[in-house]
Structure 1
Amino acid sequence: MLTRARIRLDVMVDILKAAAEPSRLRILVLLSYADLTVSDLTEILNQSQPRVSRHLKLLLDADLIARYQEGSWAFFRLSDTEAAREFIDGVVARIDRTDPVTDRDLERLEGIKRRRQERAAEYFSKNAASWDQIRSLHVPDAAVEAGLKALVGDRPFQSMVDLGTGTGRLLELFSPLYRRGVGVDLSRDMLAVARANLERAEIASAQVRQGDIYAPPVERDAHDLVTIHQVLHYLEDPAAAIREAARLLRPGGRLVIADFAPHGHEFLREEHAHLRLGFADRQIAEWLAEAELDLEETRSFAPEAEAGEGLTVKLWLARDRRVAVAAEENSARREMA
């Protein structure tokens, strides 16, 4: 059951002071739809950059929003804290979208989103041929996505992190389940694609950040689901990535890995930068055990092509074992009592 966070009286006073100003309230509404830069907000609000920066600083000081760097750009987003998000969601939900000021802000925001989507589409079209070549070797994405959904189930949870998020597809796939989703990717071009896709799907509960999979810019011990989808075969040290993913999980949280089974397609190494030609179940299980995760289930999706010609997609589901350990300790205490 999802519980509501509580806020101390003095903290609530600071939050109310920060939010109770027209421009800052407009900023909160806008950030509930998309992560934005100072330039974006300056254009939408039709205010000077120093003035917008001042509003942002006050919202930052009240922990209502957060700032993150993406190359030379600084983006602003709603705070990650449950208490702040619940407060903002409650306030924003009560604002009339047909209000002339709000309506104009959202219209200008749509213009910024369209420009983002155009840039994303341009990047995607440049790389579509190589991605289609790989897709032709394995089962359709829809089959794998159905397997992922069956593996994760349909029970709602608080928080998800998608490491190496790429186009942001997994954030979109699981958006009905989580209250907060974060995608991490090192490529600014891919982040632009992911951001555009999430905005097009009107998913306000997810955001994307630039970061290294070996040191993701998200809090540890705080997430119910972490996914690594078709990323490990690009990495020099997949085991280190799995260990870092495990550190993000709260006790009992789950890690889902999707990648290829061992194969002999050398052209993927030579032409598409794959450093690993797939992974055996035993290898993944060893890395999960080293990360103190228990492998719970595996699934395979083999193509219809003749043996050796296609790529078999594998799914591995693991769980943080700390809840199991705690349950065993409690059982032992009851037996000794």
Structure 2
Amino acid sequence: MEHQGTVAQQFGAQAQAYLTSTVHAQGKDLQQLGDMAERFAAGATVLDLGCGAGHASFAMAPYVTELVAYDLSTDMLDVVAAAAATRGLGSIRTRQGPAERLPFADASFALVASRYSAHHWTDPATALREIARVLKPGGQLCMIDVVGPQGVGSALLDTHLQSLEVLRDVSHVRDYSRAEWRDMLTTAGFELTDEQDWRLDIDVNSWLARMRTPPVLEAAARHLLANAPDEVKQYYAVDPATLDFKLESAMFTARKSGE
């Protein structure tokens, strides 16, 4: 099965769990997305790229004329459509497809946002070029995702992070570092205007259950956490009793350059 099929299959079965996940349904970044939509896209059209269960869409929809919730998983899109109807968010419409091939005309959107999706993309550089294409002149981009470590000693930390992620979820590709994101954004023609970061508290039981991680892979993930080197445990704040830990998230806001 190609990777995009793996992503769609993985998240189709877990669509409802992501709608109710506190990790995804909460966070000050959702308020910030709403603020961006009100500031940059009032009366315009917005794209939520890799929308998942729709939390970013729900945050931005009240401020815009139209919001396109776009995802590989039709099951996720069904959840978004149903939740949008329940919440009275008539501006939301759904569209299915991959991030690397956007079925939209040039300069279609005033704002593109993506929240906790890019670590599943096969080719983020191509996806960012597509985002630049569909953004209007001066359009805004907001990328939010888990990020990998960087700096001295980061190779060991990164190896454990990526291994843990793929054990939990076989559709995982990579948590890119902040430096990698800056380079990709610049190369795709974006001017970075702001960068924020924070730590996500991960309850390991719900984190694994949400993806229905197979028992053999769940056991391997727990073993990796429990037996990681001390510097890895310290960096990710692994609780020795529960194996709960912390991930790093970042928000990159950028403007389409040259306009």
- Please report the TM-score for the alignment, with normalisation by the length of structure 2: 0.67
Is the counterpart of residue 271 in structure 1 residue 168 in structure 2?
A: yes
Structure 1 counterpart of 2:182:
285
State the Cα deviation string for residues 253-306 of structure 1 (Å, max 9, x = none). 011101012153322212213534422222111111111111110111124686
Residue in structure 1 matching 2:257, options 313, 321, 335: 321
Structure 2 counterpart of 1:172:
58
Distance 2:33 2:199 in 1: 15
Is the counterpart of residue 216 in structure 1 residue 102 in structure 2?
A: yes
Task: Determine if contact 1:148/1:315 at 8 Å carries over to the other structure.
Answer: no
**SS of the residue aligned with 2:70?**
strand
Structure 1 counterpart of 2:27:
142
**SS of the residue aligned with 1:247?**
helix
**SS of the residue aligned with 1:160?**
strand
User: How far off is 1:316 after superposition?
Assistant: 0.4
Q: Percent identity at matched positions?
A: 23
Distance 1:164 1:154 in 2: 21
User: How far off is 1:311 after superposition?
Assistant: 0.8
Which 10-residue stretch deviates more, 182-191 or 304-313?
304-313
Task: Determine if contact 1:157/1:224 at 8 Å carries over to the other structure.
Answer: no
- Alignment-mate amino acid for residue 183 of structure 2: E
Distance 2:107 2:145 in 1: 24
User: Which ranges in structure 1 are unaligned for 5 or more consecutive residues?
Assistant: 1-121, 324-337
Task: Determine if contact 1:223/1:249 at 8 Å carries over to the other structure.
Answer: yes
- Alignment-mate amino acid for residue 148 of structure 1: L
- Alignment-mate amino acid for residue 322 of structure 1: G
State the Cα deviation string for residues 153-205 of structure 1 (Å, max 9, x = none). 63224110111111122221011221111111121111110111111111111
Distance 1:141 1:307 in 2: 24
Distance 1:128 1:233 in 2: 16
Task: Determine if contact 1:161/1:181 at 8 Å carries over to the other structure.
Answer: yes
User: Which ranges in structure 2 are unaligned for 5 or more consecutive residues?
Assistant: 1-12, 149-157, 203-233, 237-244
Task: Determine if contact 1:303/1:310 at 8 Å carries over to the other structure.
Answer: yes
- Alignment-mate amino acid for residue 182 of structure 1: V
Task: Determine if contact 2:196/2:250 at 8 Å carries over to the other structure.
Answer: yes
Residue in structure 2 matching 1:312, options 235, 248, 252: 248
CA RMSD of aligned residues (A): 2.6
Q: 1:274/1:311 Cα in 2 relative to 1: closer, same or farther (>3 Å)?
A: farther
Q: 1:269/1:304 Cα in 2 relative to 1: closer, same or farther (>3 Å)?
A: closer
Distance 1:168 1:246 in 2: 22
Q: 1:304/1:175 Cα in 2 relative to 1: closer, same or farther (>3 Å)?
A: closer
Is the counterpart of residue 247 in structure 1 residue 247 in structure 2?
A: no
Greater Rg over alpha carbons, structure: 1
Task: Determine if contact 1:144/1:301 at 8 Å carries over to the other structure.
Answer: no
Distance 1:252 1:128 in 2: 33
Q: 1:250/1:173 Cα in 2 relative to 1: closer, same or farther (>3 Å)?
A: same
Distance 2:79 2:168 in 1: 22
Distance 2:191 2:27 in 1: 27
User: How far off is 1:217 after superposition?
Assistant: 2.0
Is the counterpart of residue 199 in structure 1 residue 68 in structure 2?
A: no
Structure 1 counterpart of 2:45:
159
- Alignment-mate amino acid for residue 247 of structure 1: R
